[in-house]
Amino acid sequence: MFEMFPKFFTNQFPLVTYINGLIEDSIINVVKTGPVPQHIALVMDGNRRYAKVNGIQLRSGHDAGADALVDVLGCCYRVGVKAVTIYAFSIENFNRSQAEINTLLELLKQKLLYLSDTSHYAERYNVRINIVGNKDMIPDEFRSDLDKVEELTRYHTKRTLNVCFPFTSRDDITSSIANVANRVLSKELAVADINLQQVSNSVIDRTSPPLDILIRTSGHTRLSDFLTWQLSQNPTSTVVFTNTLWPNFKFWQMMWILLTWSYYQAINAGEICIMTTND
Ligand SMILES: CC(C)=CCC/C(C)=C/CC/C(C)=C/COP(=O)(O)OP(=O)(O)O
């Protein structure tokens, strides 16, 4: 569903690519006429199942997932989303086999270097890439490349990509509390002054707009310890669970969610809302 022209046609015939581009531009212009979310979070689930269903290597499933991410980021930034936060690597992912961890980390590094390259996303969309999470857990051999990604994009101010790696919300909230405790120890803050705002100021992506939509693909209807603080902070956040496996999640799936969200804003503002979509 939702594939206007199969990849075969868009790869083979330039005219089909051109028409596809025109249709996409028109849909984007339609979406822009309604309210547009300012901040979207993605739990990109289903890469391994995609590999299994399509009879390909696990690594190719993750590759397809990374390609889908590049497409989806383009959609978000084109409609005017200011910040995208992705669950790139959960602390729990360190429990996978060493071979899979290496595959994931290498892919993450390569894709982030690609995105931060000035000739690609960084310049086109003016995106600043922030690596957020428990940086102490990042293996040494990846640190310099990830620092480079942040350095290359630090002067971009229009849009943000927060890459949560390695991350869980409980870990994020725990470090935030430790941060507040250290400020109390150094007498910068009195115990009586500790409040929600002080903790909020230390959790990740505090500079991004409030979280509007969290999307989880592949049919699992749980949050898996992702952005629980941020979801509670915005009473109108929408959580979307879709059955589509992440590598199949592309332009049309994203546009459908954005249009539905626009409609929900009109009828349902004022409470956290859960939406589900099928393939
Ligand atoms: C640039 C950049 C940040 C690239 C990201 C690449 C990417 C898509 C990472 C997500 C990895 C991941 C653990 C996906 C979950 O699917 P799964 O492996 O748990 O699959 P399953 O749900 O079918 O088991």
Tell me which DSSP letter residue 123 carries. I
pLDDT score at 120: 66
Tell which atom from ligand 1 comes closest to the C-alpha of 68.
8
Pocket test for ligand 1, best of 42, 45, 106 (most atoms within 8 A of CB): 45
Read off the pTM: 0.91
Pocket test for ligand 1, best of 114, 163, 246 (most atoms within 8 A of CB): 246
List pLDDT tens digits, range 24-45. Answer: 999 999 999 989 999 999 999 9
Query: Among 87, 150, 163, 88, which residue's Cα sits nearest to residue 122?
Result: 150
Higher-scoring residue by pLDDT: 12, 86: 86
DSSP 192-242: GG--HHHHHTTSTTTTSPPP-EEEE-TT--S-TTSSHHHHHH-TT-EEEEE
List pLDDT tens digits, range 124-135. Answer: 889 999 999 999
Residue located nearest, by CA, to atom 10 of ligand 1: 88
ipTM score of complex? 0.93
Q: Which residue has the tokens 């915005």?
A: 234
Residue located nearest, by CA, to atom 5 of ligand 1: 66
Listed by start position, the domains of the chain span: 36-168+211-248
- Put the strands of the sheet holding 213-216 in their side by side order: 127-132, 159-164, 83-87, 39-43, 213-216, 238-242, 273-277
Cα separation, 128 vs 151, whole angstroms: 9
Q: Which tokens hold the place of 14? A: 């330039």
Q: Which residues line ligand 1 (CB under 6 A)?
A: 44-49, 62, 65-66, 69, 86, 88, 93, 104, 107-108, 111-112, 163, 218
Return the SS3 of 83. strand
Tell me which DSSP letter residue 176 carries. H
Q: Which of 6-10, 70-74, 118-122, 149-153 has the lowest mean pLDDT?
A: 6-10
Cα separation, 39 vs 210, whole angstroms: 6
Across the range 163-184, mean pLDDT stands at 92
Confidence of residue 216 (pLDDT cuts 50, 70, 90): very high
CA of 9 to the centre of ligand 1 (A): 28
φ/ψ of 175, rounded to 5, equals -65, -35
CA of 115 to the centre of ligand 1 (A): 17
CA of 178 to the centre of ligand 1 (A): 30
CA of 43 to the centre of ligand 1 (A): 8
Confidence of residue 1 (pLDDT cuts 50, 70, 90): very low
Indicate whether 267 pLDDT > 90: no
Pocket test for ligand 1, best of 43, 44, 97 (most atoms within 8 A of CB): 44
Tell which atom from ligand 1 comes closest to the C-alpha of 115.
1
Residue located nearest, by CA, to atom 9 of ligand 1: 88
Quick one: 272 exposed, middle or buried, by C-beta within 10 A (0-12, 13-18, 19+)? middle
List pLDDT tens digits, range 87-113. Answer: 999 999 999 999 999 999 999 999 899
CATH number of 36-168+211-248: 3.40.1180.10
CB 104, CB 165: distance < 8 Å: no
Tell which atom from ligand 1 comes closest to the C-alpha of 110.
1
Confidence of residue 11 (pLDDT cuts 50, 70, 90): low
CA of 90 to the centre of ligand 1 (A): 10
Neighbours of 178 (CB within 10 A): 11
Residue located nearest, by CA, to atom 13 of ligand 1: 89
